Structure 1
Amino acid sequence: MCEREIPTFNAPNTGPLSVNDAKVRSVVSQTSIEGKKYHPSPCAWEDQQLYFLLPDRFSQGNENGSLDVNGKPISGSVTAFSTADDANALAEAQAWRDAGTLWQGGTLKGIQSKLGYLKRMGTSALWIGPIFKQCSKDKHSYHGYAVQDFLDIDPHFGTREDLRDLVKAAHEQGIYVILDIILNHSGDVFAYKGGGKPWTGQRYEVEGFRDALGNPTLPFRPITAADGVKNPEDCAIWPAELQKPECFTRQGSISNWEYDPEFLDGDFLSLKDIHLGTGDVDNFKPSTALEALCEVYKYWIAYADLDGYRIDTVKHMGDGPTRYLCTTLHEYACALGKENFFLVGEVTGGRAYDVVQVTGLDAALGVGNVQDKLWNTCKGNTNPSDYFDLFRNATFLKKGSDAWMRNRLVTMIDDHDQVWKGTKARFCSDSTGQKLAVAALGLNLTTLGIPCVYYGTEQQFDGQGDSDRYIREAMFGGSFGAFRSKDRHFFNESNPVFQEVAKVCAVRKQNLALRRGRQYLREISANGNGFGLPHKLNGRMKSIIAWSRILADQEILCAINTDTESSTTAYVTVDSGMHAVGDKAECIYRSKKEGDAPAETAEVLGLNGKSVRLTVPPAAFVMYKICPFEHGG
């Protein structure tokens, strides 16, 4: 990192404003060989169960009756939600809707207070949305993606010490911490002359950096003490290395999100595009802005002992900057003893496979519209092969097997922006989704990839509407709570979905095949003849969907029933070469135990090679482990 004059106008209690500040350098220079011990990486990220939350919408730590890390109730002023509270905010419906665009008040300390909740559900890795300091006058930046100071924590969330305390406490509970980071853009830190501009490929003149009041009154150049700027830490952008005009592309807002170079060089709406470098991926030269941001993210790894980063808008960064970042951070983390530091990229569009291979990302989100296919497979709206073929199409992957997908893809049903959907809606936003929540999460948790649960799914949040706010409900209540409520929290560990997720996670943890095994969508038959893959005919498909995970000599057969009203019985194919007629398939999990629950064991039959006859209750999820028959003598 090039040396430069370090700003000297730090206000009392203000953190570092330059990557060359002694406070930053002393942290970044620490390595494990110098005596400090950092939390080691997991040996395999596909063994983990991720949970993604937006910190503003998760917890304030004031939820009465919620359980602490030891399972004891805490006292607080926010009452637990009950069905009588449904829509209690709609007497002032517009106020509730408006509140969804504003800060709600979740904090890092609040997240720490819910580590017991997360651990008991089976979470082993926590993905936290962005927490860096936002443009101070942007009352809508609760999401964290409009960064003004990359070297500080937004005061809405707490302090850098709060982050360090959270990570330490999470590690003590066996939970890794992955932080959401941004390199492609900053917040709306400057204004163009004449107002907002569309992308045309030309560079626009800039009115100036924004001052502490949000007005573009400051020169568009590095701020110095001689400028006499009031509250400089709330002005322009930090660290100071990003204040050079050449750090920004200055080409106006993207309108065509698929046109290169527009999606690479244009602003992300009002968020200003950062110039990251020049040259193709094999001849890339990083910009000073990218070098500075790499130092920033080294700092946070070492300061907070982080375990990974989720990198926002990788598509808009380009392959060269992404590879440079991955190489830099992987090498640095390795020097700290974090030999499997996790870098997962948000890669929208059709190039996700190639981007991961070319850049050195460990995994990607958004591959092949995986959420769309996972969602609609569970709801019976598409052929199951549409989802499972994402994993088995070795020709498309240019791989010899589906093993590439085991640890290269993060899978989830819901998330915070649903780029694949027009109208936003959580999985449980309709009655079918409410009934199939456990089946959908079971499919997510036990198929290939690194599974992730989006906060509130385990409580069957049902948000829907015409903007992202409706799928970002406040879990702690606030003025924009779930189920159109306010002032009620949702940390209900008695919720059947929460409890079943915990059970599935426990079974997954106990069985390596469910985490690392090969995967096969299984043929089924209603009568033992005419086997075939389940497929959609007219209307919603109501059928058993069954798949196997196989590792070495172990096969675990999983199945869901997309029929929400009736039990379904089918003969389900299993591996013919591994099993003999008469072997037993033992039920190791079922989500419904009442009424017409499936039998505890099923016998391997000589049909379609080998198969077992399963009965799956309505909307249920079951798992069977196939074991050799114990012959006497």
Structure 2
Amino acid sequence: MIVIMSLMHPNAKEWRQRSVYQLLIDRFASPDNKPCNVFQNKYCGGTIKAMTEKLDYIQGMGYNAIWISPTLRQAEDVEQSYHGYWFGSFYETNPYIGTDEDLINFVKEAHKRDIWVMADVVYNHVGNCFGDDHKVDPEKYSCIKPFGKEEHYHKRCDIKSYDDPWQVINCRIAGLPDLNQENPEVKAELISWAKWYQKKFDFDGFRVDTVKHIDHHFWKDLRKETPWFNMGEIFVYNYDLIRDYMTEDQLHGAFNYPLFDSLKYVMGGGNSMDAISNRFRQTQEFFGDRIHDMGTFFENHDNERFLLHFNDPARFENQLTIIHMWAGIPFLLYGAEQDMSGGPDPDCRRALWDYGYDTNSRHYQFIKKLNHVRNKMQIGGLEQVELGQFGNAYAFSRGNKVLVVLNNQGSGNDNQIRVKAPFESNSQICNALVEGDCINVGSDGFVDIHLHSGEPKVYVRQKDL
């Protein structure tokens, strides 16, 4: 298995069968578990070695892929770069989190468990260099390796309007030096580095940062040279722009930000299920079968946690259910399994060791059941069919294997629906999330489903449990 994966990169269709656990290395596992004050915006002590020791914890939830935060050495080694997105030396591992050998060993240990590793990469920008006064010098680039010359960057300007495509491509995000991919030297070096990085550490795919800030020509040239799966971050809430980048000659996949946006208001705020239904129809229209190559999520490291505003286990479990059962590749941000809350960055990046690694917690076990269904039934790539909206409930199927019913009423509210099932008439089906919750499909192919206290349900054939 390991040899095959080293020679043949997993393709998009193979990634469809994976469930991904997202983590920030500095915040996931530490050798000493010292308390972490996220508002200091500094390293808290998480390491690659400690992360490796927690692989069984991740695997225990049923995850078979991990998205790790960037591992490169950061510009000026500043402590505020704990997140990893301020690249300084492209060919060195960040000494705060570990060594090359630590990272190689982590990937090997993951592969032994049939867990794939998705590395986080940034082609758009780098970190800032300091002047003699130890403050940021926006015109200095000498601390960046191998991009230490002024001509490696776009002329300095800051993005004032995201409605201006020229600014989005050519100007700086948060004052960070913007690499000039139109420069043949820069483009060639970035592609060469990507190939080196993947090969050295044997990564199975890349999560690609800030995609919309780079011209399409670069992505087309990159695709020709990098055959492994590239999942792009295109942070917009409409599918038009996402489709522009998620093409056969650019990115293999992209995160489903429009669905993420709708889930906040539907599953959290109790808004109409129409929004989710509309998102499904839109993705079918825009992407067809490639809907299965999109990343489904309801939290990430850039946005506040769901439980900050909607501290209701039923609503939370509906969120967990939809991202794991919906067409696409599910991504779960570390800590959700331990009910981690938090506001916008940096508060959404708390240390998991401050919460603990309880494998018997309610939502660790809940997620384990969801992934058991995904993995056993191999639903990645199976057709998704909308079965109907029923007030505060919404039902859909995945092939003829799974029936999913969602509910956004929250705890304390019951609901009853009648829906056409994707199973044989007069057969018995069971809710994979609650032991003993079984019902019979009628002779007409319909089932009557009682939703207790806002719960979601995931039905499979009784024999498939």
User: Who is 1:82 aligned against?
Assistant: none
CA distance in 2, matches of 1:185, 1:355: 19
Identify if the C-alpha distance between structure 1 residues 376 and 462 changes in structure 2 by more than 3 Å, giving closer, same or farther.
same
Distance 1:220 1:375 in 2: 41
Does the 8 Å contact 2:159/2:168 carry over to 1?
yes
Identify the residue that residue 297 of structure 2 maps to in structure 1.
Answer: 412
**Matching residue of 2:432:** 589
2:143 to 225, 233, 236: 236
Q: What does residue 254 of structure 2 align with?
A: 364
After the TM superposition, which residues 92-103 of structure 1 pair with which residues of structure 2 at under 5 Å, given as runs? 96=37, 98-99=39-40, 101-103=41-43
Pair 1:395–1:111, CA change in 2 (3 A): closer
- Once the two structures are superposed, the pairs formed by residues 176-191 of structure 1 within 5 Å of their partners are 176-189=116-129
Report deviation, 1:605.
5.0
Instruction: Confirm or deny that 1:570 pairs with 2:455.
Output: no
- Say if 1:511 and 1:220 are closer, same or farther in 2 by CA, change over 3 A: closer
Does 2:381 align with 1:546?
Answer: no
Q: CA deviation at 1:463?
A: 0.8
Given candidates 501, 515, 518, the residue that maps to 2:367 is 501
Quote the offset at 1:360 in angstroms.
2.3
Q: 1:146 aligns with which of 77, 80, 86?
A: 86
Q: TM-score, normalised by structure 2?
A: 0.90
Deviation of 1:393 after TM superposition, in Å, equals 3.3
C-alpha distance in 2, partners of 1:115/1:319?
37
Residue from 99, 108, 114 that aligns with 1:159 = 99
Contact 2:38 2:349 in 1 (8 A): no
- Describe the superposition over 1:50-104 as per-residue Cα deviations: whole angstroms up to 9, x where unpaired: 01111111111446xxxxxxxxxxxxxx6xxxxxxxxxx9xxxxx94633x1211
Match of 2:306 among 427, 430, 439: 427
CA distance 1:212–1:45, shift in 2 (3 Å): farther
Q: Secondary structure at the match of 1:393?
A: helix
Preserved contact between residue 602 and residue 614 of structure 1 (Cα < 8 Å): no
Cα distance in 1, alignment partners of residues 424 and 6 from structure 2? 48
Q: Retained in 2: the 8 A contact 1:137–1:214? A: no
What is the Cα deviation at residue 520 of structure 1? 2.2
Alignment of 1:519-534 (within 5 A): 519-523=384-388, 533-534=389-390
Q: Secondary structure at the match of 2:106?
A: helix
Structure 2 residue runs without a partner (length 5+)? none
Paired residues of 2:156 and 2:177 also in contact (CA < 8 A): no
Aligned to 1:558: 404
Q: Taking structure 1 as reference, are residues 295 and 394 closer, same or farther at Cα in structure 2, changes over 3 Å only?
A: closer
Other structure's SS at 1:48 match:
coil
Matched, 1:246 2:151: yes
1:362 aligned partner, one-letter code: H
Q: 2:274 matched to which residue of 1?
A: 385
CA contact (8 A) 1:61 1:113 kept: no
Judged with a 3 Å threshold, the aligned counterparts in structure 2 of structure 1 residues 347 and 372 are, in CA distance, closer, same or farther, namely same
For 1:346-367, what per-residue CA distance to the aligned partner results, in whole angstroms no more than 9, with x for missing partners?
A: 1123400121116421100144
Q: Is the 8 A contact 1:437 1:497 kept in 2?
A: no
RMSD over aligned Cα atoms: 2.8
2:53 is the alignment partner of 1:113 = yes
Deviation at 1:544, TM superposition (A): 2.9
Q: Does the Cα contact within 8 Å between 2:19 and 2:371 map onto a contact in 1? A: yes
Cα 1:502–1:303 change in 2 (3 A) is same
Matched, 1:459 2:306: no
Matches of 2:369 and 2:5, distance apart in 1: 37
Map of 1:18 onto structure 2: none
1:444 is matched with which residue? 323
Check conservation: 2:90, 2:145, Cα contact below 8 A: yes
- Please name the residue that 1:10 is paired with: none
1:469-480 matches, within 5 Å, as 469-477=346-354
Q: Secondary structure at the match of 1:545?
A: strand
**Sequence identity (%):** 23
TM-score, length-scaled by structure 1 = 0.67
Tell me: CA distance 1:211–1:362, structure 2 relative to 1, closer, same or farther (3 Å): farther
Distance 1:220 1:372, change over 3 A: closer
> Compared with structure 1, are the counterparts of its residues 97 and 130 closer, same or farther at alpha carbon in structure 2 (3 Å cutoff)?
closer
Which residue does 2:264 correspond to in 1? 375
Tell me, in whole angstroms, the C-alpha distance in 1 between the residues paired with 2:269 and 2:232.
29
- In structure 2, the residue matched to 1:224 is none
Paired AA for residue 515 in structure 1: G
State how far apart, in whole Å, the 2-side matches of 1:276 and 1:588 are: 51
Contact residue 106 and residue 157 of structure 1 kept, 8 A: yes
Q: Deviations over 1:211-252 (max 9, x none)?
A: 7956759x968xxxxxxxxxxxxx52102xx22321111222
Of 110, 114, 124 in structure 2, the residue corresponding to residue 170 of structure 1 is 110
In 1: Cα distance, 2:38 partner to 2:252 partner:
38
Partner of 2:25: 55
Cα deviation for residue 373 of structure 1 reads: 1.5
Distance 1:586 1:220 in 2: 65
Change (3 A) 1:188 1:62: same
Q: Work out the CA distance in 1 between the residues paired with 2:419 and 2:26.
A: 45
Give the conservation status (yes or no) of the 8 Å contact 1:249–1:273: yes
Which residue does the alignment assign to 1:301? Answer: 198
**8 A contact 1:587–1:622 mirrored in 2:** no
Determine the C-alpha separation between the residues in 1 that align with 2:221 and 2:353: 39
Letter of the structure 2 residue corresponding to residue 346 of structure 1: E
| Residue 41 (structure 1) aligns with | 10
Q: Within the alignment, does 1:490 sit opposite 2:356 as a pair?
A: yes
Larger Rg: 1
In the alignment, the residues of structure 2 paired with residue 438 and residue 417 of structure 1 have an alpha-carbon distance, to the nearest angstrom, of: 21
Rounded to whole Å, the distance in 2 between the matches of 1:428 and 1:173 is: 31
Q: Which residue of 2 aligns with 1:199?
A: none
Letter aligned with residue 277 of structure 2: F
- The residue number in structure 2 matching 1:482 is none
Q: Is the 8 A contact 1:561 1:567 kept in 2?
A: no
Match of residue 622, structure 1, among 430, 438, 457: 457
Unaligned runs of 5+ in 1: 1-31, 64-77, 79-88, 90-94, 191-209, 222-234, 278-285, 331-340, 419-424, 478-488, 524-532, 536-542, 629-633
**Larger helix share, 1 or 2:** 2
Deviations 1:172-222, CA, capped at 9 Å, x for gaps = 1111011100110011137xxxxxxxxxxxxxxxxxxx57956759x968x
- Please state how far the C-alpha of 1:143 moved relative to its aligned partner: 1.3
Q: Displacement, 1:604?
A: 2.3
Q: CA deviation at 1:473?
A: 0.6
Paired residue type of 1:570? I
Q: Provide the rounded CA distance (Å) in 1 between the counterparts of 2:459 and 2:324.
A: 15
